[in-house]
Amino acid sequence: MTRLLTHLRHVDLAVPDYDRQLDFYSGVWGLTKVAEDSGISFLAAEGSPEQYVVRLRKAAEKRLDLISYGASTPADVNTLAEQLLSDAVQLITRPGSIDTPGGGYGFRFFDVDGRTIEVSTDVEVRRHRRIEEKEAVPVKLSHVVLNAPDLNTTRAWYERHLGFKLSDTLMHPNMGEAMHFMRISNQHHSMAIAQGPHAALHHISFELRGIDEYMRGSGRVIRAGHHKIWGPGRHVAGDNTFTYFLDPNGNTVEYTTELEMLDEDTWHPHVYDFSNPEVTDQWGTANAMNEFVAKESFNDVDRGCFVAPPV
């Protein structure tokens, strides 16, 4: 399939503990609240041209509202919508104007597991800035990882319908394939799919300026008393740094930096055995990966599957 997606725009969450969640993301996590209205807030990364990278919505139940990707032109948006319709993918909305900060043109649909996906173009560029040395705030949204009950079915759907390509796979001798890293550009992954007991958000990752800023940011969140799941360390797949935390509503969020950029013409996917500790953490500085660490990112069953968000 011709690749029509360009990049990851934002991840939208519904949360019951809205005020604590907003305080976390706009405080210790380092995002900037750019708009708020009637229990919905939009948070930007200071180094990103995206209008916002996280949307929070106050709700009775926790859920993933949607994941948003960019496209180059309205024609590409229309082409993708027509292709999805012809393949019997369920559209939530048809292409049209978007009434969120920055506007734009786009549409929404369900993926194979029932997540709401949005694709948009012509969104106004946000005035952003260069992140300075030792300034430990997110530069941009890096990637999102999803739990799927059948990761190969989900992988095939994203390859067929949205043009994603496989970069690498994690496997375990006793578990088989456990995670696929998927790309829509030369960035090693903008999405990964993890084998899990149910469809849910695995984690959202935010890129910092460099190693020093990544360590300073990780330390700030630790000192603020938020639960650290795993890290700091450095993966083999993607060659990126990682520290994972739980936000106040139990979603896993990651600080990272230096995610690998590929030569797509020559790249061949690897299969890495993550029972080897050096695969999960090259440095050997993170707490050991085990079943208890893994289960913390299974997250709750997503109540939003095949239920479109109200806004």
Structure tokens at 259: 């995610």
What is the reported pLDDT for 88? 98
The CB-side HSE value for 249 (13 A sphere, CA atoms) comes to 27
Instruction: Tell me: cis bond preceding 309? Omega within 30 of 0 counts.
Output: no
Closest by CA position to 106, among listed 128, 74, 83:
74
Structure tokens at 219: 């330390």
Cβ-contact 199, 181 below 8 angstroms? no
Give the 3-state secondary structure of the chain.
CCCCEEEEEEEEEEECCHHHHHHHHHCCCCCEEEEEECCEEEEECCCCCCCCCEEEEECCCCEEEEEEEEECCHHHHHHHHHHHHHCCCCECCCCEECCCCCCCEEEEEECCCCCEEEEEECCCCCCCCCCCCCCCCCCEEEEEEEEECCHHHHHHHHHHHHCCEEEEEEEECCCEEEEEEEECCCECCCEEEEECCCCEEEEEEEECCCHHHHHHHHHHHHHCCCCEEEEEEECCCCCCEEEEEECCCCCEEEEECCCCECCCCCCCCEEEECCCHHHHCCCCCCCCCCHHHHHCCCCCCCCCCCCCCCC
What is the reported pLDDT for 196? 94
Cα end-to-end distance, the chain, whole Å:
30
pLDDT digits (tens, 9 = 90+) for 45-70: 999 999 999 999 999 999 999 999 99
What is the CA 115 to chain-centroid distance, rounded?
13
The domains located in the chain, with CATH, are 5-121 (3.10.180.10), 140-295 (3.10.180.10)
What is the reported pLDDT for 293? 84
What is the reported pLDDT for 291? 81
The low-confidence residues of the chain, meaning pLDDT below 50, are none
Structure tokens at 13: 């969450």
- Measured on CA atoms in the order 232, 53, 47, 74, is the torsion positive or negative? positive
